[in-house]
Amino acid sequence: MTADATALTTHGPALETHGSGGMGNPVLGMLLFITSEVMFFAGLFAAYFSIRAGYTEVINSVSTHVWPPTQFQHLLNPFTLTTESGALNLILPATLILLSSSVTCQLGLMAIRRNDRRGFVRAFAVTLVLGVSFLLLQAFDYSVLMHEGLTMGATTFGTTYFTLTGFHGAHVFGGALMLSVVVYRGMAGQFSAKHHDMVEAVSWYWHFVDVVWLLLFSILYLL
Amino acid sequence: MATTTLNPAAPAYRSALYEWLTTTDHKKIGIMYLINSIIFFLAGGILALIVRLQLVIPKDATTIGGLVSPEFYNQAFTMHASFMLFLFIIPILAGFGNYAVPLQIGAPDMAFPRINALSFWLLPLGGALMASGFLATGGAAASGWTEYPPLSGAKFNGPGTDLWIMGLTLIGTSSILGAINFLVTIFKMRAPGMTLFRMPIMVWTILVTSVLVLMATPVLTSALIMLFIDRNYGGHFFDPANGGNAILYQNVFWFYSHPAVYIMILPAMGIVSEVLPVFSRKPLFGYKAFVFATVAIGALGFSVWAHHMFTTGAVFLPFFSLMTFLIAVPTGVKMFNWIATLWRGKLTFSTPLVFATGFLTMFLIGGLNGAFSAAVPVDFAIHDTYWVVAHLHYVLFGGSVFGVFAGIYYWFPKMTGRMLNETLGKLQFLIMFIGFNMTFFPMHQLGLAGMPRRIADYSASAGWTDLNIVATIGGFTIAASILPFLWNVLVSLRSGRIAGDDPWEGNTLEWATSSPPPPYNFDHLPEIRSERPVFDARHGQAAAH
């Protein structure tokens, strides 16, 4: 630096930043990332509703609005454990598994907040197992649906169904990777009540993935 | 247990190349953004020259007009726009943000330096994917940068379009990660005393731009993914024959792409708002009004997307027309802010100010002919004509690109420690300004005369030939203006005048450190009590207390 610039700078180096306090940078970063993910799914949901609103079938030679398409309605009752052809329909158990994984995730977060690393690792490991189970069940469900004729190209319902649930599944997979890293680091003795920004961030993400599934389950199976 | 202190190891030797390839320093990453963007600017420029040569005269007159096949012509204008929008304007402005924001808020780096490096490296990767379409069967993407289905469907286009989709998805991801990084940096890393309303306008524009990127770019990703599924996996999102909806793509696409035009102009407005006060020796007129106008443009930007779709008959015309006119209000506020900043200032016409005045005049024309297009009946007449091409170039080239060059001339001394040559800079401006207006002003008349966009040839009897010749000469004039610029950069890097810390007598914190700044940015920060801390430190001593 030249003498000029030194003369300008009468104060010492910044010890704290203006934004210190409040949530940690990783947590804020994750919340912003989730915002972008919300917008991504908003685009897909908008497409879904737009296509759903315009879907018609010719029933008794009258063009009628139905949803889901009549040919697939028997596949989409979550409250029976078998389809009409006798294959297993495990979408409700899968949903319950994913929902309970959010509970275990939150329990793990509360554990690390009170410095209980062992409880945190245990709860997050269970969360990871539940998440992977959901993915396996979803893969199984896909094979059943495709066997019954519901494919990506089978009406716009098939297109939207597999796109929405597929991208949700990809996000569960991403979340499972994050959980693995957190569990691994926890087992290595990292994180404490004071330093666990990554745990907070990952649990936010996991809850987000869960909420997306609740919306998807509602619009695809219930409403 | 005794603590052992290890002797600090001698830093391992790193070649300069290794250093740049692995750096997480926001300043080096910012400079790499600029270089990468300028490479794509040159590539996009060459494609533009192909377009201009193709159109210079009708094909039946001589063979010059038929320089390339209609198929390649479609690829040329599609990739010209894709390069210029996604690989030049958006990233180069993000590059200025990368370089300037941490310095201007007194931070040592971005909040997530490694994610910052990832954001950058996704760009050349995405760009290479997109450009590799030229080597694919059937060539690069060719349905225009908007890639509307059904024209962009698998039936009409080869793998070049898929490469375009993949490349753009990566570029979008780069933008989103960058936006998150900017927002966390701005919210959490400001130096003591740097309140939100003391932030330089550049930082404010990057803040609003980042919110737009965060909310809009993922929607583009969803549109691209649906297009990809339709093309490759038998989906029917946009396929009316199977219950899909082709207008749906336009809605989702423009929900991103209209906010994207503010992503492409707001940081350029930020650069101009840094340059004007410094070179008129006055504070920016109406700082807070300017901030609120920026926020208003960002907010209104989400409610006008369907003005690109007036002629589809599928959108509510009065609403989108009204909202579009409303955007002129905050934009007008800014225009008056800038003029009032210059008014009775002690102007020093250095190259950055020259380019900034170029921005003001050309962006004004772009804003005015944009307001014409917002009127529904006028839009029906000029939709998809060369009028629209004129309008978008007056805002994107006349606005953003002139702003970009103002920024390059303004911050080059900080980045390199050397000044760019003023004479060459003004020569570049003169040639570029003349070439720009020669190219794009006639396009207004061509549009009104009915010449549609994206045609590879036209009839000699249409009466469009003369103006097309003028536009083509103008296009090559713009290309010529790049030569003094490149020469200037090369020469000045080696033998430019030494800049010193603060060659322009600047206002903002980047001028309080050395040129180029050390990796950690600041040894000491001046006291921050206004949006012009360096000005205060320079002039405040006598007046203080």
pLDDT in tens, B35-52: 999 999 999 999 999 999
Statement: residue B385 has pLDDT above 90: yes
Contact B490, B517 (CB under 8 A): no
Q: Which of B188, B500, B514 is the closest to A28 by Cβ?
A: B188
- State the Cα–Cα distance between residues B437 and B504, nearest whole angstrom: 30
How many CB pairs (< 8 A) connect A and B?
173
Query: Average pLDDT of B373-390?
Result: 95
Tell me: pLDDT of B302 over 70: yes
User: H-helix or E-strand containing B467?
Assistant: helix B465-495
- Could you tell me the pTM of the whole model? 0.93
Q: Set out the domains of chain A in order of their start, with CATH numbers.
A: 23-222 (1.20.120.80)
- What SS3 class is residue B418? strand
Give contacts of B190 with chain A, Cβ < 8 Å: 17-19
Residues of A in contact with B257 (CB under 8 A): none
* Nearest-by-Cβ selection for B218 from A36, A56, A155: A36
d(Cα B510, Cα B504) in Å, to the nearest integer? 12
Q: Does B534 touch chain A (CB under 8 A)?
A: yes
- A27 with A113: CB under 8 angstroms? no
Interface contact B245-A54, CB threshold 8 A: yes
User: What confidence score (pLDDT) does residue B65 get?
Assistant: 63
Q: Does B527 touch chain A (CB under 8 A)?
A: yes
Beta bridge partners of B452: B385
**How much is the average pLDDT of B339-368?**
96
* Multiple choice CATH, B23-543, 3.40.50.300, 1.20.210.10, 1.10.3720.10, 2.40.50.140: 1.20.210.10
What confidence score (pLDDT) does residue A85 get? 81
**Least confident interval from A8-17, B172-181, B303-312, B490-499:** A8-17
Provide the mean pLDDT of chain B. 94
pLDDT for A10 beyond 50: no
Contacts of A90 (CB under 8 A, 6+ apart): A81, A137, A140, A141
Residue B342 CA to residue B50 CA, distance in Å, equals: 39
Q: Which of residues 31-70 of A touch B (CB under 8 A)?
A: 32-33, 35-37, 39-44, 46-47, 50-51, 54-56
C-alpha distance across the termini of chain A, in Å: 67
Given an 8 Å threshold on Cβ–Cβ distance, is A40 in contact with B219? yes
In the predicted model, is pLDDT for residue B135 greater than 80?
Answer: yes
Which DSSP helix (H) or strand (E) runs through B340?
A: helix B317-342
Q: Nearest Cα to B428, choosing from B510, B492, B361, B351?
A: B351
Other beta carbons within 10 angstroms of residue A7's beta carbon come to: 13
Residues in chain A: 223
Q: Given CB atoms, is B504 within the 8 Å cutoff of chain A? A: no
pLDDT digits 0-9 by tens, B88-99: 999 999 999 999
Q: Which residues pair with A58 in a beta bridge?
A: A63
Residue B449 has pLDDT above 90, yes or no: yes
Q: What pLDDT is recorded for position B7?
A: 64
Give the model confidence (pLDDT) of B235-271 as tens digits.
999 999 998 999 999 999 999 999 999 999 999 999 9
| Cβ within 8 Å, pair A29-B111 | yes
- pLDDT surpasses 80 at B2: no
Give the per-residue pLDDT at A83: 82
Least Cα distance to A17 among A3, A5, A7, A28 occurs for A28
pLDDT tops 60 at residue B207: yes
- Whether B514 and A47 lie within 8 Å, measured CB to CB: no
Q: Is the pLDDT of residue A84 over 90?
A: no
Element (DSSP H or E) covering residue A57: strand A57-59
Which residues have a Cβ under 8 Å from the Cβ of A84 and sit 6 or more positions away? A74
Distance CA B503, CA B522 (A): 18
State the CB neighbour count (10 A cutoff) for residue B169: 18
CA distance B227 to B162: 9
pLDDT greater than 60 at residue A18: no
Contacts with A12 from chain B: Cβ below 8 Å:
524
Q: Determine contact, residues B282/B352, Cβ cutoff 8 Å.
A: no
Give the whole-angstrom CA distance, residue B502 versus residue B515. 8
pLDDT of residue B61: 58
Average pLDDT over residues B445-466: 94
Percent of chain A's residues with pLDDT above 70: 91
Q: What is the pLDDT of residue B5?
A: 60
- Specify the amino acid at residue B445: Q
Q: Span B58-80, mean pLDDT?
A: 84
Give the minimum alpha-carbon distance from B222 to chain A in angstroms, rounded to a whole number. Answer: 6
Burial of A150 (0-12, 13-18, 19+ CB in 10 A): buried
Instruction: Supply angle C-alpha B425, B355, B297, rounded to 5.
Output: 150
Arithmetic mean of pLDDT, B515-524: 95
Are B259 and B215 spatial neighbours (Cβ–Cβ below 8 Å)? Answer: yes
Tokens 């002039």 -> residue: B539
Contact B214 A46 (CB under 8 A): no
The answer, yes or no, to whether residue A217 has pLDDT greater than 80, is yes
- The answer to whether B347 and B280 are in contact (CB under 8 A) is yes
For residue B259, the model assigns a pLDDT of 96
Whether B531 shows a pLDDT value over 80: the answer reads yes
Structure confidence at residue A20 as a pLDDT band (50, 70, 90) = low
pLDDT at residue A9, rounded to an integer: 41
Place of tokens 């309140």: B195
| CA separation for the pair B9, B411 (Å, rounded) | 35
What does the alpha-carbon distance between residue B102 and residue B190 come to, in Å, rounded to a whole number? 8
Give the three-state DSSP class for A161.
helix
Q: In B, which residues are within 8 Å of A46 by CB distance?
A: 248, 251-252
Taking the mean position of all CA atoms in its chain, how far away is CA A207? 7
pLDDT beyond 50 at A1 = no
**How far is B110 from chain A, CA to nearest CA, in Å?**
11
Name the residue among B192, B41, B31 with its Cα closest to residue B116: B31
A11 has pLDDT over 80 = no
Tell me, what's the pLDDT at A12?
41
Please state, in angstroms and rounded to a whole number, the distance separating the CA atoms of residues B307 and B31.
36
Instruction: Locate B315 and state its tokens.
Output: 């959108």
C-alpha distances out from residue B449 to A74, B367, B392, B446, B472, Å: 59, 21, 18, 5, 18
Cα gap A182→B473, rounded to integer Å: 61
Is A16 within 8 Å of chain B by CB? Answer: yes
Distance (Å) from the C-alpha of residue B529 to the closest C-alpha of chain A? 13
Instruction: Kindly give, in sequence order, each residue whose CB lies less than 8 Å from that of residue B44, ignoring residues fewer than 6 positions away.
Output: B79, B80, B81, B83, B84, B87, B88
pLDDT of residue A86: 82
pLDDT tops 60 at residue A2: no
* Partner residue opposite B245 with nearest CB, options A51, A152, A155: A51
Q: Supply B446's token pair.
A: 């061509």
Instruction: Give how far B443 is from chain A: nearest CA, Å.
Output: 35
Reading the block at residue B172, the tokens are 């979008």
Least confident of A57-71, B188-202, B319-333: A57-71
The pLDDT assigned to A121 comes to 97
How long, in residues, is chain B? 545
Q: Please indicate if any CB of chain A lies within 8 Å of the CB of B291.
A: no
Residue B210 has pLDDT above 50, yes or no: yes
Task: Supply the pLDDT for residue B3.
Answer: 57
Say which of A18, A22, A156 has its CB closest to residue B243.
A156
Flag whether pLDDT at B541 surpasses 90. no
Structure tokens at B324: 């579009």
How far apart CA B223 and CA A136 sit, in angstroms, is 28
pLDDT score at B63: 62
pLDDT tens for residues A109-153? 999 999 999 999 999 999 999 999 999 999 999 999 999 999 999
Pick from B176, B191, B537: CB nearest A8? B537
A-contacting residues in B 361-380 (Cβ below 8 Å): none
Q: How far is CA A194 from CA A110, A113, A119, A124, B3, in A?
A: 12, 7, 16, 18, 24
Who contacts B281 (Cβ-Cβ below 8 Å, separation ≥6)?
B345, B346, B347, B348, B505
ipTM of this complex? 0.93
Is the N-terminal amide bond of A68 cis, ω within 30° of 0? yes
Which residue is listed with tokens 């059943």?
Answer: A144
**Pairwise pLDDT comparison (B59 vs B159), residue with the higher score:** B159
